[in-house]
Structure formats: C-alpha cells, structure tokens
Structure 1
Amino acid sequence: MAFEVIQTDITILAVDALVNAANESLLGGGGVDGAIHRAAGPALLAACRAIPEVRPGVRCPTGEARITPGFALPARFVIHTVGPVWRGGEQGEADLLAACYANCLKLARDHRVESIAFPAISAGIYGYPAHAAASVAVETLRTAEWVPERVVFCTFGDAMTRTYMALL
C-alpha cells in the first residue's frame, strides 16, 4: 500500500473526501476545522447544525466520525472526526485516535470514496505528540481491511512532513 504525503492547505486538494479534525460540536473552530469551514462556505455549518446532538453540544463524540457534503470545497465530502486531547498517553488516547481513522474509513467505504486526505488529527491544538499521532495514523491505515485507492496525509509544516515521510 502506497500513501502520499503532501504539504499543502488541505482545503485545495481535489479528493473525494477531506477529513476534518473537528471538535465535538461540529460547528467550526480553529486550525484545520476553521480552514475547512471557511473554504466550504456557510452551507457546511448549516449541514453540521442539522446533525443531531447525541448529548447537549455534542454531535460527534471523540473517536467517532460524521459525513457532510463538501459544498464549495473541491472534495465531494467532508468527514468530520474528533480526535482525543493529549493527556499524557495513559487515558486511552491511542485507541481513540485509531478509532478516528477507522471510523473515517468506514464512512468513506459506505460512500464509495476513492480518494481521501487526512490531516494530522489531534497533533495541533489538542497537543498529541506529532510522531505518536502520525504513528497511530499510519499503523491504523496500513492494517485496515479496506482503504480508498488514494490516501493522502496532508501536512502543514516541514516537521510534520518529515515525520510522516520517516514513518512511510
């Protein structure tokens, strides 16, 4: 299985699905989440608001994933997933992060996605150490029963690009 590493703005990638490193509300935020919401336009926020809450303020619990159209993005879909906040590595963070990738793959398969781009989920403001986060991502996708024909790890910055390249 060959994976691509591309250092760019994820919102410009022409793939079937972009993965959004979202927060549990799905109503936008900073980093990748904010960039995707800005590029997709206001229809994305409306679509996210339409996703039922599973508890007050939570449309997508940590480790799970939800899908919406891509609206103004070049991608047909946005798959929103909520990665874990790093709390030292002893709070089940690796399992939750692996679940993010696995649940994104399930939605991708169900929606016949042939190409997908993942950001470094949880490696930004959520504080997950870059090498550990990338290791979980690569291992989860390498061992998955199914992956799309094209899988892109979209990085933002030289350090994360080098991290993924070293793992691959």
Structure 2
Amino acid sequence: MPTLEAITRFSRGFARSTRGSRRSLQLGSLQLQLHMTDDIVESPPRGFCDVLINPANEALVGTRLPYFPMQVEPPPELQNSRWCGMEAGSGMFYAQQVVDGRVHAVGGSELKEACLQLGEVSPGIRCPTGQAVMTPALGGLRPFFSHIVHAVPPFYSSENWEKCLQSCWEASLELSWSVADNAVVASPLLGAGARGVPMLEASTVALTAIQNWAHRTCPRGIICIAVRDDEVAAVIEQTMVEAELHRTA
C-alpha cells in the first residue's frame, strides 16, 4: 500500500480546479477522468456525453419514494446524498439533488414511458440489482446525452455487495460501449449514497471494475466520473493515484 507521503509526492504538479477536469488515468486506449460539476445531468463533463450511467432503483421509477424518514438528527455520513440518494426534502436525510431524480425530472414523461416499456422481469422489478438496462436520452436529456444506462447498485448491507457492485459497473460499461466504439461516458460514484457504500470502498470497487473491464475488452474512449463536492473528489483522486503508483512501481 503506497504511503501518504508517496501519494502526496506523486500528486504534486497536477492542476486542480473547483469545476472541470481534475485528474485523469490512462488505461490503455481508455482514459478515466475525474470531473467536478454542479449538475451531472444538465452540466455533464465535456458538455455532451454519449452515455450517462444513472444509479437507478430496481423499478426504474426515479426517486419517487423516500427511504429515510428523519426521526432524529441523521449521522454526518447521511447528511449529503453525494448524488446517489433517494428523494428528500426537509424531513429526509438526503438532499433533493440526486442523479436518478434529476434524470427522471429532466427526461419527463418520454423517459418514464421508455422505462415502462422495458417491462418487469419480476413483480416491481425492471432491472435486478447488479445489472443495467439502457434507454435513449429522451425529453430534456437529449441536448446532453444520446443514451441513459440505468444501473442498480447493491445495498452495502447486502450479501456479496462488492461483487454485485463490480457487476453493476461492468454491465453498465458493456451497454455504454454498445452505443459507440469510441464512447464518452459520464457516471457518478455508483453505490455511494442511499445504497450505503462508503466513499472509499465505492471508489475502490469502481476503479477495480473499470480496470478489469478495460484490460479484458481494450476499449477506446473516455469514462468521466463526475462529482460535485471536494470530499468525494479527494477520495476518488486518492484511489486513482494509488492505482497509478502500483502501475509504475
């Protein structure tokens, strides 16, 4: 495991900005980029992406149902959705600005109909946990993406959550590269938020899954992991630095 001092030394010389591209990692012909943006849905990295990976629920109904009624003061780790929570408000743990809610709000009735047309694989489930499905980018999403991949991460408390989250990433990437051979794909940090995966673990699984998939498939293109707060960005950045250190060791 690289030391903090090694990570700090390696990090020097990288320009940082509060918004925009923050760091990149080359994985063969695939580039993994870390971006900062206030709204991944209507201000995506690079202005337009072929695909947005949307952290969805199994029913593909957006953030219609709240998860965590606030009976007491929430613990600090639940006070910010980090873009992966459920519908919220003054009586909820999670902020209203969450990716799935934004996707369905901007996509509107056209996106809702497209999700309904996918049909249920079992009662109330259109996409099982650990898998992904794809729809066109409809409604107000059209100026920003060509397709939306709806991915369902596991809950942190579930059995084999890590393997399931890796499967979620790999299924999402397979669908994304079916759209274009040289795709540009945007995604938040899957699993962090309402699904409860701690940021560092979610980041580690994400990078492992992306590296394994890239090594196996040798794709060309760009994956933009986009976040909006510095705390999340710093964790992802640390994971990327450690991966680069391991490669160059």
Q: CA separation in 1, counterparts of 2:104 and 2:235?
A: 27
Greater shift after overlay, 32-41 or 74-83?
32-41
Q: Does 1:128 align with 2:197?
A: yes
Please give the per-residue CA displacement for 1:97-143, whole angstroms capped at 9, x wherever unaligned: 00011001111122226110111111011111110001100111112
Q: Please tell me the root mean square deviation across aligned C-alpha atoms, in Å.
A: 1.4
**Greater Rg over alpha carbons, structure:** 2
Name the aligned partner's letter for residue 109 of structure 2.
Answer: P
1:19 aligned to which of 53, 76, 90: 53
Q: CA separation in 2, counterparts of 1:42 and 1:163?
A: 36
On the 8 A contact 2:50/2:179 being kept in 1, the answer is no
SS in 1 for 2:234: helix
On the 8 A contact 2:35/2:225 being kept in 1, the answer is yes
On the 8 A contact 1:66/1:79 being kept in 2, the answer is yes
Report deviation, 1:44.
0.8
Q: Does 1:79 align with 2:149?
A: yes
Name the aligned partner's letter for residue 40 of structure 2.
Answer: I
Q: Where do 4+ consecutive residues of structure 1 move more than 4 Å?
A: none
Structure 1: 5+ residue stretches without partners:
none
Tell me which residue corresponds to 1:153: 225
Please give the per-residue CA displacement for 1:45-79, whole angstroms capped at 9, x wherever unaligned: 11111111000100000001000011122100000
Evaluate the alpha carbon distance shift between residue 66 and residue 43 of structure 1 in structure 2; reply closer, same or farther with a 3 A threshold: same
SS in 2 for 1:153: strand
Q: Does 1:3 align with 2:32?
A: yes
Q: Does 1:112 align with 2:180?
A: yes
Residue identity (%): 30
Evaluate the alpha carbon distance shift between residue 127 and residue 70 of structure 1 in structure 2; reply closer, same or farther with a 3 A threshold: same
Q: CA separation in 1, counterparts of 2:228 and 2:210?
A: 20
Report deviation, 1:85.
0.7
Report deviation, 1:40.
2.1
Please give the per-residue CA displacement for 1:71-94, whole angstroms capped at 9, x wherever unaligned: 12210000001000111xx71000
Structure 2: 5+ residue stretches without partners:
1-26, 64-85, 87-97, 241-249
Q: CA separation in 2, counterparts of 1:108 and 1:32?
A: 17
Q: Does 1:43 align with 2:110?
A: yes
For normalisation by structure 2, the TM-score amounts to 0.64
SS in 2 for 1:5: strand
Q: How many residues align?
A: 166
Q: Does 1:98 align with 2:166?
A: yes
Report deviation, 1:148.
4.7
